Amino acid sequence: MSPRWNENRLTAKLGIDYPVIQGPLGGLSSQRLTAAVSNFGGLGSFGAHGLAPEVIKDVIGEIRSLTSKPFAMNLWVSMEDEGARTSDENAFNRSLAPLAVHIDALGAPRPTYKPYSPKRFEDQACVLLDANVPAFSFIFGIPAREILEECRAKGIVTIGTATTSDEAAALQQAGVNAIVASGFEAGGHRGSFLRPAEDSLTGTLSLVPQVVDIVDVPVIAAGGIGDARGVIAALALGAEAAQLGTVFLACEESGASRLHRETLQRRNAGHTGLTKGFTGRLARAVHNRVMEDLNRNGTEILPYPPQRELVRNLAIAAEAAGRADLLPMWAGQSASLSPCTDVLPFLTSLVEEISEIAGPITRWSAARRKKQIVK
Ligand SMILES: Cc1cc2nc3c(=O)[nH]c(=O)nc-3n(C[C@H](O)[C@H](O)[C@H](O)COP(=O)(O)O)c2cc1C
């Protein structure tokens, strides 16, 4: 029986004080945010999938200069979709068409076709291994056996991400230390890897207990958790930590633009939708005009990541012009629950509120988990 709500197998393994994880925010992470969460006693994460290996090395050094506490570095195991390398200038021009009208209206130069230059997950992972990061989390697949073995040998905690119970079973089989069960409420990409993302849209409330019942490693609940009520619910479902993304994205410390953060801080930010239009992979973001345009039937979308590079051109112009209707803004369904503007007061009150009630819930939940394992 765990004596306190905040002490369990996962917090012990990671060496953190609270089972609260700031989810990696690939592209919008910041060293400051990661360190602030870790310094508080949670686990800060940094989404590094878009960075070159030498930049990742610098980022790890910077995080280490800001915190001596454990943190996670996050990568995407699958870095491109079929057709990314063969996608040509004609396809580029067809996919540019729905964006060009906005780019022109904003007075920005139209982008021109550039062949895509790939980054390799293995090269990025090498940096994490060399740097001996405290935790290595990943999404969109399972790293090769040799990488996971090296993590084990070095004591690097591995955290995989599942969007279905089949993916959770595969991650456990591969020997990861913990599994994020990511419900479809979550902001950002749907990291599915066994079935298409469109067929892997289980909600957090259903997914977490299903995963808890079939794996024996600690489960981390993600998706739609924006305050103490959500964390308590996750613990009741059998999760040993909650991973929050959108709420941290809204904080001043995040790497999101001011326009994006202010949109998330508004009470009416909660209307989100799923689209492949922003990157070529299915992801959740604020429903706005540019999402509607790209979701229209017949719109040609490039594979991941060329579509991401293409849309980035509009994003830069929209941000400069202060046009939230034309800016891709990642967000989960909990967006309107995000009054968080600074990490420290947010986490302080989150933990205070959870502490009032979570003791008996986590004890009950741990006992239930044990019974399930015995069955
Ligand atoms: C902008 C953004 C970027 C994200 N990038 C990553 C990523 O690179 N890797 C990853 O594993 N999860 C990523 N996520 C998922 C979050 O880490 C987290 O699991 C998710 O946001 C939790 O759901 P919530 O948004 O409802 O809080 C991202 C989420 C957002 C909003």
Block means of pLDDT (10 residues each) for the chain, 375 residues, are 82 98 98 98 98 98 98 98 96 97 96 93 98 98 98 98 98 98 98 98 98 97 97 97 97 96 82 97 97 97 97 97 97 84 94 93 89 70
Average pLDDT, the chain: 95
What distance in angstroms lies between residue 247's CA and the mean position of ligand 1's atoms?
10
Residue 356's domain comprises: 9-80+118-256+338-374
Please give the distance of CA 317 from its chain centroid, rounded to a whole number: 25
Domain-located, residue 3 = no
Domain-located, residue 266 = no
Q: Counting atoms of ligand 1 from 1, which one is nearest the CA of 74?
A: 9
Record the tokens describing residue 288, joined without a space.
Answer: 């706005």
CATH number assigned to the domain comprising residue 169 = 3.20.20.70
CA-nearest residue for atom 3, ligand 1, is 25
What distance in angstroms lies between residue 233's CA and the mean position of ligand 1's atoms?
19
Is pTM beyond 0.85 here?
yes
Among 30, 185, 189, 202, say which to mutate for ligand 1: greatest number of ligand atoms within 8 Å of CB. 189
Domain-located, residue 20 = yes
d(CA 249, CA 340): 9
What distance in angstroms lies between residue 245's CA and the mean position of ligand 1's atoms?
5
Q: Return the pLDDT at 266.
A: 84
What distance in angstroms lies between residue 226's CA and the mean position of ligand 1's atoms?
13
What distance in angstroms lies between residue 375's CA and the mean position of ligand 1's atoms?
34
Total number of domains in the chain: 1
What residue ranges line ligand 1, CB within 6 angstroms? Answer: 23-26, 28, 47, 49, 74, 137, 139, 161, 182, 185-188, 191, 222-225, 243-247, 249, 330, 332, 334
Q: Counting atoms of ligand 1 from 1, which one is nearest the CA of 23?
A: 17
Q: Return the pLDDT at 375.
A: 61
Q: Return the pLDDT at 338.
A: 65
What distance in angstroms lies between residue 186's CA and the mean position of ligand 1's atoms?
7
Q: Counting atoms of ligand 1 from 1, which one is nearest the CA of 331?
A: 31
Record the tokens describing residue 142, joined without a space.
Answer: 């399972």
Domain-located, residue 95 = no
What distance in angstroms lies between residue 153's CA and the mean position of ligand 1's atoms?
28
Domain-located, residue 301 = no
What distance in angstroms lies between residue 260's CA and the mean position of ligand 1's atoms?
15
Domain-located, residue 169 = yes
Domain-located, residue 99 = no
Among 56, 219, 246, 254, say which to mutate for ligand 1: greatest number of ligand atoms within 8 Å of CB. 246
SS3 state at 94: helix
CB pairs under 8 A, 24+ apart, for 140-144? Answer: 140/76, 140/77, 140/78, 140/189, 140/191, 140/192, 140/193, 141/76, 141/77, 141/78, 141/193, 142/77, 142/170, 142/171, 142/174, 142/176, 142/193, 143/77
Domain-located, residue 318 = no
d(CA 229, CA 104): 45
Q: Counting atoms of ligand 1 from 1, which one is nearest the CA of 182?
A: 19
Strand-pair category, 44-47 with 20-22: unpaired
Q: Return the pLDDT at 269.
A: 67
Q: Counting atoms of ligand 1 from 1, which one is nearest the CA of 161?
A: 11
What distance in angstroms lies between residue 283's CA and the mean position of ligand 1's atoms?
10
d(CA 20, CA 247): 12
